[in-house]
Structure 1
Amino acid sequence: MSNPQPMPQNQRYDHDPAGGGPQPYGRGGDGSAVRRTALIIHTVADIAAAFLGLWILLYLLEANQGNVFVGFVEGVADGLAWWSQDIFTMDTDGLRVLLNYGLPAVIYLLIGHGIAARVRRV
């Protein structure tokens, strides 16, 4: 048995979540730039919070302050938490570091994820 019609060509497509059916890849209106922007904002907030959390962990575990990696993490965390230094001034160093670096980590997560969610809705 032979089929006289040629086989259709496969095309790349993105499914339109609005229900408009498949659309050719790369066409405007699919919101990929918006999703990408929201993902970047979300990722930057996560990375900032990760550095702050890593510094808290290294400090509480008494990591070697002379180590290059520990110094790098401390420098990045200090840069990210410059505005929150000495908000809490308790005698216990571990609790002081936890609160002074944990507060900006939580704020960066809340603000970053909130902005990303808002961008996705646009």
Structure 2
Amino acid sequence: MTYPEPDPQRTRALPNQGGQPQPQPQPTPAAPEDVRRAKRVRTVRMARTAVTFVCALFAVVLVFQIILVLAEANPANGFAAFVDGFSSAVSLGFDGLFTPDSAKAAVLFNYGAAAIVWLLISAALNYLIRRFALPGPRVPRA
């Protein structure tokens, strides 16, 4: 079986066939201001991630408390007691804000409002961190 001659247009992207190694382009060193900018952006991202995680954790604990109360979980259980204590600590004072006739509705409204406020706090803090901590746009040097 014979193979056709290679087409130079199709093989031009292949590495050098002559046995000579092609020189690799040397990476240009980053300017110090680029390194500082990259470090600052990385630090801001880590701070925003931490804020999002903590606020979301508080909201999830409040939602767990709502689910446990609506499902009539045993309050003497260790997990239910832990969630109850944690959720009362992060409820932002919303514990007695709404006072409907049903205790389940009171937990749903009070802790639900606190969970929503935690998500709003997360969004506001992330906006403020991004707005004031990140460097501005690059200005090309003349």
Question: Could you say whether these structures have the same fold, taking a TM-score greater than 0.5 normalized by the shorter chain as the test?
Answer: yes
One of 79, 86, 90 as aligned partner of 2:89 = 79
Which runs of no fewer than 5 residues in structure 1 stay unpaired?
A: 11-21
One of 61, 65, 76 as aligned partner of 1:55 = 65
Task: State how many pairs are aligned.
Answer: 111
Is 1:110 the counterpart of 2:120? The answer is: yes
Deviation at 1:9, TM superposition (A): 7.8
Secondary structure in structure 2 of the residue aligned to 1:91: coil
Q: Aligned equivalents of 1:98 and 1:8: distance in 2?
A: 63
Q: TM-score, normalised by structure 2?
A: 0.68
Identity %: 32
1:27: which partner in 2? 35
Q: Aligned equivalents of 1:82 and 1:111: distance in 2?
A: 11
RMSD: 2.6
Deviation at 1:6, TM superposition (A): 5.3
Q: TM-score, normalised by structure 1?
A: 0.78
Q: Aligned equivalents of 1:3 and 1:118: distance in 2?
A: 56
2:101: which partner in 1? 91
The structure with the larger Rg is 2
CA contact (8 A) 2:92 2:114 kept: no
Secondary structure in structure 2 of the residue aligned to 1:110: helix
| Structure 1 moving runs of 4+ over 3 Å | 4-10
Query: Quick one: structure 1 residues 62 and 9, their matched pair in 2 at CA, closer, same or farther if it must change by over 3 Å?
Result: farther
1:3: which partner in 2? 20
Query: Quick one: structure 1 residues 9 and 68, their matched pair in 2 at CA, closer, same or farther if it must change by over 3 Å?
Result: farther
2:13: which partner in 1? none
Deviation at 1:118, TM superposition (A): 2.3
